[in-house]
Structure 1
Amino acid sequence: MKIGRIETFTVPPRWLFVRVESDDGAVGWGEASLEGHAEAVDGAFEALRDRFIGHDPRRIEDIWQVAYRGGFYRGGPVLMSALAGLEQALWDLKGKALGLPAWEMLGGRVRDTIRAYAWIGGDRPHEIAEAAKGRRDQGFSAVKMNATAELDWIGTPKLFDEVVKRVEAAQDAGMDVGLDFHGRVHRPMAKQLAKVLEPLGLLFIEEPLLSDNPEGLRQIADLVSTPIALGERLYSRWDFKPFFEAGVVDIIQPDLSHAGGILECRKIAAMAEAYDVAVAPHCPLGPLALASCLQLAACTPNVAIQEISLGIHYNTGGHDLLNFVVDKDVLTPVDGYLPIPEKPGLGITIDEAAVRAADKDRHRWRNPVWRLPDGSFAEW
């Protein structure tokens, strides 16, 4: 068996799908979505095609090592997202060829389902309450929401009152809540806000500071007992290593479409397990990214919860991740839990005709840009 073709497809609202076909007609799908940078990742596939057309697709670890190390320059979101999408597609192809789910080839199943959470939005407590009730009606028992708009370097505790009210509105609707700071809050204010939120019993605070500020994260970790989550902007086991060693993270959130794919994230999770750190994969993306996450959840003991981009909200711009999946029930939560896919490969069947039709428009999605009242740039 040899790799005969590697195709990429831009799929709205902001996804990049990968299709690998062997010379004997076997097909595997993966997702290399990197929000706002689809063209850059697509360009990275030129080198991957030159390198791996004609290569045995079953030698997944060898392909990964050559792709990562063979180009001399390595790492970073673009190259690792391209590698992730290729690697996922190889697991899908190999699993279908052998009649096995990827999780079966990675050690076998440790669970039957995984708890899931969905994002909610809203600026006011009543908006948050309604959004939380909507997720509850879908069967979820946990949600994630933004903590706040970007806070300045200095301020007063009055700025935190609205944050607390918004969290309490979701909790009053029966939800466990994770709060995403998005690295928006400068360290002096982040320390105060983390302390104010501690009595609320959050699932986690995510990116209370950006991961390029580990010394500040150390201060927050020493200040509060609320679990600290981060990792969507880290792209390999080497990126995660210093955070484990520093003891500043309780839950890691690698993105399987950014951090090198399924096996690399399995290795990251094994490192986390040695430090008693949980895993909650980042996934505001499409169906192939989510299916890959479920393969990881199936065979990884310290995966605790899974993000899912379900339904119409800002993450998908009105496009449901199920639009391109034939067997939609495989990625549909039941009572707040996602089932582990049983079918070979990634466990889902992609509607190839719909993907090819969507690719004709070739989306040009870009991250929105916000500014503060004084006109300065605000974090995402």
Structure 2
Amino acid sequence: MKITKVETFQIAPRWLFCKVSTDEGVSGWGEPLVEGRAATTRTAVHELADLLLGANPLHLEDCWQLMTKAGFYRGGPVLSSAVAGLDQALWDITGKVRGAPVHELLGGPVRDRVRMYNWVGGDEPAQLAESITAQVERGFTALKMNATGRFRRLSNRAEVAAVLERVELARGLLGDERDLALDFHGRVSMADAARLIPLLEPYHPLFVEEPVLPEYLGLIGRLVGPVPLATGERLYSRAEFLPVLNNGISVVQPDLSHAGGISEVRRIAALAEMFDVPLAPHCPLGPIALAACLQIAFATPNFLIQEQSLGIHYNVGNDLLDYLVDPGVFRYVDGHIERLTGPGLGIDIDEDAVRRADELGGDWHSPVWRHTDGSLAEW
């Protein structure tokens, strides 16, 4: 079997899909993407495709080594994301050829269903109560919200109080039996993170995500305490996760569309297990990325919980189920998804829908925020 073709599809709301075809008629799908840099990542996918054409897609590890190490300059979000999507597609092909879901190829399932969480806003707290109530009614037992909107480098007392007010509102609606995760989104300075995190302890957050920007992760050990800290959506390899694990983080959050795909994330999970740290993959993306995450989740002993973006504000007019032949594979029961049993990634992509969407295109970019003095603010 040989790889004969690699195609990419840039579609709304902010996704990039790739299809890898073979000379035996078996194809696989992946989702390589840097949000807001879809066109750049698309170019990187086709540059890497030149290395794969003619290769055996079942030689997964050799293909991964080729994509990651055949060039002198390596890593970073664009290259790692391009590798990630192609790697997902190769695992999809391998599962289809073997007649098994990817999680069986990873050693077999260790759980029957995966607990999911959904995002409920928080940037602007006006709709927070409505959003939380809606997700609870859908059966979710865990939710995540942004702890702040735009945030100054050193906050005043009123701004700190506003954070605590929205967290108290959320905890009151969720009760003690449901979980609440808080995302700092890299908006909070080290000094404010040190001030805020201890104040959150009475609300018992499942974790605080991205308490500081990735460039300051060498300092994250200063924030470690009773409140679990999570990070990893902007880390792309085992080598980048090792220092934060050594610094005492509680949850690793690699993104299957950024951190080298299934091949690398399973190794990141194994590394984290050596620190007694669970895995909670980042995934605010499309259906292929979610399917890849679920395959890892079903086979990973130290898996914690899975993010998903069905119904998120980005997806108005185009959502995950729009590109699936059978949307029922992502049916939620009591906030969980049952084990996928189909071969490969366990989903069937509606290729006609994808090609139509690619013709229309989709070009999303991150918002640009500014502080009241006109200086750039972290989004």
Q: Do 2:122 and 2:147's aligned partners in 1 also have CA atoms closer than 8 Å? A: no
Q: Is the 8 A contact 1:12 1:358 kept in 2?
A: yes
Per-residue deviation, 1:318: 4.1
- Amino acid across the alignment from 2:241: F
Partner of 2:233: 232
Instruction: State the Cα deviation string for residues 136-170 of structure 1 (Å, max 9, x = none).
Output: 11110111111112332333333222211211222
Distance 1:125 1:315 in 2: 17
Question: What is the aligned partner in structure 1 of residue 159 from structure 2?
Answer: 159
Asked if 1:182 corresponds to 2:194, the answer is no
Q: Contact 2:325 / 2:348 at 8 angstroms: preserved in 1?
A: yes
Contact in 2 for aligned 1:290/1:308 (Cα 8 Å): yes
1:263-302 per-position Cα deviation (integer Å, ceiling 9, x unaligned): 2100000000000111100000000000000000010011
Q: In the alignment, is residue 191 of structure 1 matched against residue 194 of structure 2? A: yes
Quick one: which amino acid aligns to residue 213 of structure 1? Answer: Y
Q: CA deviation at 1:214?
A: 2.6
User: After superposition, what is the alpha-carbon deviation per residue over 1:91-149, rounded to whole angstroms, capped at 9, x for unaligned?
Assistant: 11111111110110110000011111000114565521110011011110111111112
- Judge conservation of contact 1:109–1:298 (CA < 8 Å) in 2: yes
Unpaired segments ≥5 residues, structure 2: none
TM-aligned CA distance change 1:23 to 1:124, over 3 Å: closer
Q: Offset of 1:5 from its aligned partner?
A: 0.8
Whether the aligned pair in 2 keeps the contact of 1:126 and 1:169 (CA below 8 Å) is no
1:219 aligned partner, one-letter code: R
| Cα displacement (A) at 1:357 | 0.4
- Would the aligned equivalents of 1:19 and 1:27 in 2 still touch at CA under 8 Å? yes
Any residues of structure 2 matched to 1:64-143 within 5 Å, and which? 64-122=64-122, 127-143=127-143
**3-state DSSP class of the match of 1:194?**
helix
Of the structure 1 ranges 60-69 and 119-128, higher mean CA displacement relative to structure 2 is found in 119-128
- How many Å separate the matches in 2 of 1:251 and 1:122? 21
Calculate the TM-score normalised by the size of structure 1: 0.96
8 Å CA contact 2:147, 2:184 repeated in 1: yes
Letter in 2 for 1:24: E
Query: Relative to 1, partners in 2 of residues 1:124 and 1:235: Cα closer, same or farther, differing over 3 Å?
Result: closer
Q: Distance in 2 between the 1:35 and 1:319 partners?
A: 16
Question: Given residue 25 of structure 1, which amino acid in structure 2 is its aligned partner?
Answer: G
Partner of 1:207: 210
State the partner residue of 1:27: 27
- Residue in 1 aligned with 2:57? 57
% same residue: 51
Q: Is residue 277 of structure 1 aligned with residue 277 of structure 2?
A: yes
Q: 1:183 to 1:315 in 2, by over 3 A?
A: same
Structure 1 residue aligned with 2:376: 377
The count of aligned residue pairs is: 376
Q: 1:350 — aligned with what?
A: 349
Distance 2:256 2:155 in 1: 37
- Equivalent residue number for residue 147 of structure 1: 147
Matched, 1:364 2:363: yes
The answer on whether the counterparts of 1:281 and 1:293 sit within 8 Å (CA) in structure 2 is yes
Report deviation, 1:20: 0.7
1:304-343 equivalences under 5 Å are 304-311=304-311, 313-343=312-342
After TM superposition, the structure 1 stretch with the greater mean CA deviation from structure 2, 117-126 or 130-139, is 117-126
Determine if contact 1:278/1:304 at 8 Å carries over to the other structure.
yes
Q: SS where residue 278 of structure 1 aligns?
A: coil
AA in 2 matched with 1:237: R
Superposed counterparts of 1:296-311, under 5 Å: 296-311=296-311
Q: Deviations over 1:178-224 (max 9, x none)?
A: 11001111111111111211111001101111122134311111xx3
Name the SS for the 1:212 alignment partner.
Answer: helix
Q: Contact 2:220 / 2:247 at 8 angstroms: preserved in 1?
A: no
For 2:215 and 2:122, the matched residues in 1 are separated by 28
Letter in 1 for 2:36: G
Structure 1: runs of 5+ lacking an equivalent: none
Ranges of 4+ aligned residues in structure 1 off by more than 6 Å: none
Secondary structure, counterpart of 1:315 in structure 2: helix
Of the structure 1 ranges 333-342 and 42-51, higher mean CA displacement relative to structure 2 is found in: 42-51
Counterpart CA distance in 1 for 2:123 and 2:77 is: 30
Deviations along 1:298-352, whole A, 9 cap, x unmatched?
Answer: 10011100001011x3332442111101111111221011122110000001000
CA distance in 2, matches of 1:314, 1:95: 33
- Whether the 8 Å CA contact 2:152–2:371 is kept in 1: the answer is no
- SS at structure 1 position matched to 2:127: helix
